Structure 1
Amino acid sequence: MLNHVYRVVFNRSTGCYTAVSEISKSGGKSNNRSGQAGSVGALPSATLGTLLRRSTISVAIAGVLGLTAMSSQAEVCLTENFMPSNSVASSESIACGFLNEALGTRSTAIGYDNTASNIYSSAVGTINISSGEGSSAIGSYNIAKGNVTSAIGSQNNVDGLGSSALGILNHVNNTYSTAVGSSNTVNGQMALGAGHKNVASGRFSSAVGFVNTSAGDYSLAIGSDNSTANERSTAVGSLNVASKLHSSAVGYSNEASGERSSALGHDNTASGNDSSAVGRINIASGNESAALGRMNTASGVASTAVGVANQSSANNTSALGTGNRASGNDSSAMGRANFASGVNSSASGYLNQASGNNSSAVGYSNIASGYTSSALGGYSRATASGATAIGSGSTFALAAVKDAAVKADFTVATTPIETDSQGRRFKADGSGGVIYEFAPTDYEALGIGATASGIRAVALGTNAVADKRDSIALGSKSVTTVNAGIAGYSANGDTSSTWKSTLGAVSVGDTRDADPANWETRQITGLAAGTTDTDAVNIAQLKRLETTGLSHFSSVATALGGGAQLNSMGVFQAPTYRISSADYSNVGAAFTAVDGKLTDLQTQIDTIELTPGPKGDQGDKGETGFQGLAGQNGTDGLNGINGTDGADGAQGPVGPQGSAGQDGTDGLNGTDGAKGDKGDSGISEEAKVELENKIEESKERFVSINTSGTKIEVDYDNEGATGNGSIAVGVNAKSAGQDSIAVGTDSKVTGNQSLSVGVGNIVSGDKSGAIGDPSIIGGDSSYSLGNDNIIGDTSNNVSVIGSNIKVGATAASIVDGNPVFTGVTNASNSVAIGESVNVQATDAVAIGANSSVTHSNAVALGANSQSTADNTVSVGNANTQRRITNVAAGINPNDAVNVSQLNQNRAEAMGYTDRRINDLEGETHSAVAGALAFGALRYPNVPGKVSVGLGGGTWEGETGYALGVGYTTSNGLFSISSAFGGSGSQQGGNVGVSYTFD
């Protein structure tokens, strides 16, 4: 029930009317000037006289203004010019102004048409409503609905526990949230909207600035026109959008639409999950991709584009620099305008192209289009599989033999070949089928104008030429002139037993001119003494042979006999042996002759035939002998002219059954003849077995081609080519892998699409190859060029050139026809070039004889070089080191420093140190001069007097001064002094106090 006004009392001392409620009226009447002393306590005149004047709204709040109203009364403040129109619902509430309602316990409504309807609520201003417990609405047209809420300003609406709105036209609709500014909307729990027209609808979200939206929980939008749509997303700046979980867009007009994506800068888009776009106009659309710089695009999974206008469109790719494109999986393009389109390819520098799988192009305007090819330098072209082109204008392409394909009939076609999607070379056979390349040609040409046209030839040096098979031209202008199979020098001219080379010669000069005077030759220096039969011999060995060998020749000649001796010139004269009227000039030939005679004698003994005795009487019919082997059917003979029938002869004994012949015409039956002689015995079982063995031994397998399960054979029972599309050529050659090729005696290939050329090679890895003999290749996509090389079965993408190279394994043996590796390590993606190279780590490179890499991503360059740690380059070992010469001055932080730079830095450091020491020396001299000046001050100790002192000092050319003031008390017990001075730019001062005990 409302507490209505009972009487209005005018207080003359304050100039204010006081309304008294009907609950407070007394039993009697009094005039309107006296009031009710028991209902309204006395007001402090000084306080109320200041606060409550006529024509003002008077506020009477007990405890604040010192009123002593009873607990059963409520206060209503009125203005002088209006009739009471405020309402209070209970005691201790206040309604002050016009049309105000304080309906809650201890509520307050002040101003015009305000309503405070709940306990402890307050409505102050014009047409405000505070309906929540402890709520406050202050200003105009504000609504505070929730408990403990605040709406301050104009037209704010707050409906949530503990929430606040400050400003104009703000709306808060959840608990513990805040809106500050104008036209902000906060719908999220514990959210914040500050500024103008911001919307914070996510829990614990914040929208601060101008027209920002934070819709995700824990999201943040700061600036203007930013939007966050998912949990823990962030948009800061202007026109940014962060729409996915944990995404961030910072700057101007950026969009982060992938989960955990980041877009920072200007007009960047990060749409892939875990992607990043930083800079300007970058796009990171692949998952885990990154685009940094300007106008970069990273669309592949885990791709990276850094710099200006780079594109990494395939998975696990990198494009760094300006205008680079990395479109092959696992490819990289670095520098300017490089293109890496092959799988696992790399293009670095300027205008390079790496289009072949596993190819590399490094330098300027190089092209590596062959499978596993490399082009380095400038304008180099590596178009063949496994090719390497190094140097300005070097070209490594397929030659005519390289392009050839071999059919089953061994004819060679020169039709150019093509490359399929798996990097295999083939050509059309004219009938809709394909014939894969028979024997690849691998060669290396390094140097300007270097030419390597022979199969597996190597040319190193400017204008070097290696045109013979398996030959090597080493050094500038060197030319190979000798093929394989050439016998070595023999002093007596007989080269029948002289060692013949199995590979092309190594040339270090040019001896093609008919005139030896025009030959270009080199000495081979630093050559160690040879140890095995095929090692080169140095001059020191020849000298030792000359001094030690001659002393033994006489005794050797004596032992040989046959007139062997050393003549007066020290030349050995060979012996002469007579055997069966023939002369032989060496022991070997003599023994060969003796052996031949003995062999002939044994043969004659074995073939002696005994003369049979006279024929005996005809015996009875013998038993049927063993059936002989069926012979091959002969061709039908021509029909002869029919003769007259002769008399019937006697029937002969039954002979062994022969093979069935053609049916003839039936003849007349003759009369039985007399019993004939006993036939010879048939072949025995032992002879039959021996004959079968000889027939079996005579079989040789030469070529086998398997086309999808159908064999084309040129032997008797070949089992060589068992894999579909495989080819086996050579004695005991086997190709079990699909589309595999095995060429050479005991060559075995079990890997799919793999190749072996040589004697005794074993290739078990897929897409791998071995050229030389005998090498064992276990890794996939791995190739060996040379002899006695090993690539372990856990090491893939490996390339080796040389002999006795170990990659990913220290040894290998053959068990049941299969390779078994020992000391196995993972050495994938490695390269080894040289003799006796050892690589036992991933991503390693070892170049040089006896070089070794046992650390990941390390490089050993040069003979006997050894790696010492991961990610390092070694050019020596612990005992032998090399200098790296012609090193340009470093520019970037990770460039090498040359000695010139080091000396320059040393000079600069010493100059800086000298300057600092000189400065310090001068400062020290000045300080000493100043100290001497301060020490020269003297004060007359006169009681009750002020003394002034002046001092000066000099030290090592520096001059100091000091000015001081002193005072002694009249009793002479207490003295104080102060001084100021310095030297040059250095100044200082001091203060001193002294006391004399009486």
Structure 2
Amino acid sequence: MNKIHSKIWNRTLGALVVAGELAKSNGKGGSARRVRAGLLATSLATGALMFATGAFAADNASASAQAAAASAPAKPAIKVQLAQLTPQVVSPTDPYFSADGAGDGSDTALSDGTYSVAAGAMSTALGTESIAVGHNSWANDDYATAVGGNSSAFGIGSSAFGNSANTSLAYATAVGYGATASNYNATSLGANAQATGLSSVAIGGYIVDATGTPKAFDISGNPAAAVASGDYATAVGPGAQASAHGATAVGVGANASNQNNVAIGNSANASGTSFSVAVGTAAQAIGDATIAIGNSAAAVGNWGTVIGVQAMGSGTGDTVLGIGGNASSDYGVAIGYAANAVGAQTVAIGGAAAAGGDFSMAIGSGAEAYSTNDQAIGSNAWAGSGQGSRNMAIGNGATAGNATDATQNISDSIAFGASSTASANQAMAMGVGATANAANAVALGAGSVAARANTVSVGAVGAERQIVNVAAGTSGTDAVNVTQLNQGLASVSVAANPLAISYDAADKGNLTLGGAGGTLIHGVAAGVANGDAVNMGQLNGVISKESADVTSLTSQISALQLSGGSMPTTIAVDGSTAATAASGSGGVAIGSGANAGGANDTALGGHANVNADGSTAMGANASVAAAATNAVAIGESASVAAASGTALGQGASVTGINSVALGQGSLADQDNTVSMGTATNQRRLTNLAAGTYDTDAVNVAQLHSSLAAAELYTDSSTQTVMNYVNNAINSLQTGGSASMPSTIAVDGNNTASVAAGTGGVAIGDSAKAGGSNGTAIGGGSFAAGPNDTALGGNAKVGADGSTAVGANTNITAAATNAVAVGESASVTAASGTALGQNASATAANSVALGQGSIANAANTVSVGTATNQRTITNVAAGVNATDAANVGQVNSQVNAALATAKTYTDASSSQTLQAAKAYTDAALGNQQTLSDLRTQMNDQFNQVNKRINDQGAMGAASTQMAINAAGATGIGRLAAGVGYQGSRSALSVGYAAPVGSTAHLSVGATTSGSQTSVGAGFGIDL
């Protein structure tokens, strides 16, 4: 203990003072380490801590010097030396604040900016109102804030919070261990988050496992945190990367690597050259301006659109809608569950529909178009065979080509009708169950069979049909009707002798009857064998029947059309550029380059072209000219150039009005005719029943029967007529009709099109689908089936495979695997996802990003509501290392860190005091004289007196300053307080500001002579 040794003169006080045993002469005190501390805050009457600060005090002499210096324009900065602090306590046993440093002057704090504050060893605050708190912290520019060891804030108004957090330019903000915001207005939040682009945002730390060990690394081998390196880029989520201008990456490991790309969802990747969008877990938008929406959806080629879980579009301009859908070449269209468009510019619509060859089309559940320009329309329809092309199958289960033998290279076959089959080159089968299995054969009507090449069949063995309404033939290959036959028989020339019957030659090859006005043959019995003559009753019966059949067949041909009802709206489906159907109302155009240019037209097939009202063209390059109203052209390159014409077959052509061309390459170039070939390529008409009416066609048996009866009288002349008629019959041509059950229908006003059953596609007003493989496009679309897809209008879906895009989209009914993009998008549960306008999603594996977001919990990602925030809201306290932390959780961690720092400082201070005591003991042992002891003691007492007065003055100043700083609002409040005790005075200066609506931050400093203290505080409402 110090003892009073003597009284000595104190030059500072101008008076005698008592000197203790430790006092030295010449006014010099001991060299023990000095530790300075000050009261950080004041407890108000409520007992709650309101503000933490420090005070600045000076003895009377130095205070006057500072007053003189105050005339300079700049206000004095507050220089605080945290390295020399020891705990200042509110009570003797309750340390309030402490800091540690070398204590030798080598790491003092520096605050040179006006109203700046520096707290911590080697801390530096250089700008106006800048704040640096923490060891080696640095606030370099005006209004900059750096809080945390080794933190640095460079740039006006920049803020760095957290150990090693740093900012580089104006208004940047970095929060978190090692967080970096290195550009103007950049914001980073999270351990090692990096925001390096202009106005960029990076939120999220490392991707770690349950033990906190990083499990994702960048190309340099460093753990991957959120990085926003492009200007105006946004990266939200652990490991999220937004590396180009305007890029957005949201989700764990999400990556948007080029200009204006958007990646939303865990591991989502948008890497196209620009404007690529990937939404969903592991979604990939790789091509330029591509869109991939759905878990594991991938859009690889440029300008592609892929929507659906595991959907894939790998070519340029592909469009894929539906779970597991695929388009693998350029400009393909695949719509429906597992729809597959393989060839270039192909179209596949319907569950498991497949279009394999270039320019091919498959529409309907399970429909397949195998080769180039093949078309299959209808559930399980098949078109194609080996290396063949241009085959067309329309109807449920229709087959054009060969579905089982790839060695059969069949081309230009047409099967029209449910279960119809055309299995040879240029074969045509029209009608339910019709079969044409020979080259260039035509089977017309339900159940008809054409088994011989170059023939037309209108029935089958045992199920023959008549052909009615047959006009009289004019050319050698024309068919004759019954009237014409009768006239031919009646016009047989009579021999010179009117009463005689004689042969014209010795070989008896011809017989001429000589009646002046013709000769009647009476009493002719009905013919039986093919060589028998027919009598009039028999012939009239045949002619009458044939006339009725021909009339019926003509009616069927006139009624043949591809769509029914009024069609005020149009539809176009295409693989590269949109087919057009807008020139006339009610048009339908399906296929690459297809065009329906007139009212109520139908163009079906690649480059099919219709320019006349009420006409139909089906098949690649099929065409109807502008003058050919109410015409029908069916088959590849089939064409009609005159009104009411009908061309059926590959390359068939009609140039005569109201004419019909049946079969491959047939030409009808005269008005009101039926042609089954050309002048050099005739066909026979087989399975023809005997005619009964005057305009009916006759078959060979009927003709032979008639001629055989006539032969009793007219051997020679009848033979001439028979030869004429036989030749005509062999080239008889006709037309037919066929039903066209299909799974596609389009309507604009009436009851909507519906494709119900195992997997339909419904397009149009009140569309439904209802089959297990769904797809309904437009109008009142619905599509309730296991693998639904519904696009637009009043789209609904109703669970299972889901996907609904646009208008009033909905999904519900336990919404398994959902998606839903646009207008009133909803979902309600299961695997969720809903992007845009009125997006919802309500739980399960949610997501829901955009306009009216919600998503309410489960495995969530929301970014909207709870009154429409948008930053990232509704964050629960994190549990695992990869979880987001909320403000409460952060505050808890901060408080724990402060408690740890306090304990550490207490221990350090204890060691310092022990070292000082040891040093003092050693110094006392070295005192040589009593005089030295007296002088030293005197100085010690004087210092003790000054410190006691300093502490009192500092406490009073701190209290006054704290009271005035409390309740700060706006950008904050700067407060000062003055205190006096004994001969000592003190000045306290502090700054307090609100942080958000529930927290406050405060800093302050105090000084009195050589005594200084500093403090910082943070409080949050609970």
TM range (shorter): 0.3 to 0.5
Higher strand share: 1
Ranked by relative contact order (alpha carbons within 8 Å, sequence separation 6 or more), the top structure is 2
TM-score for both structures, normalised by structure 1: 0.40
* Larger CA Rg, structure 1 vs 2: 1
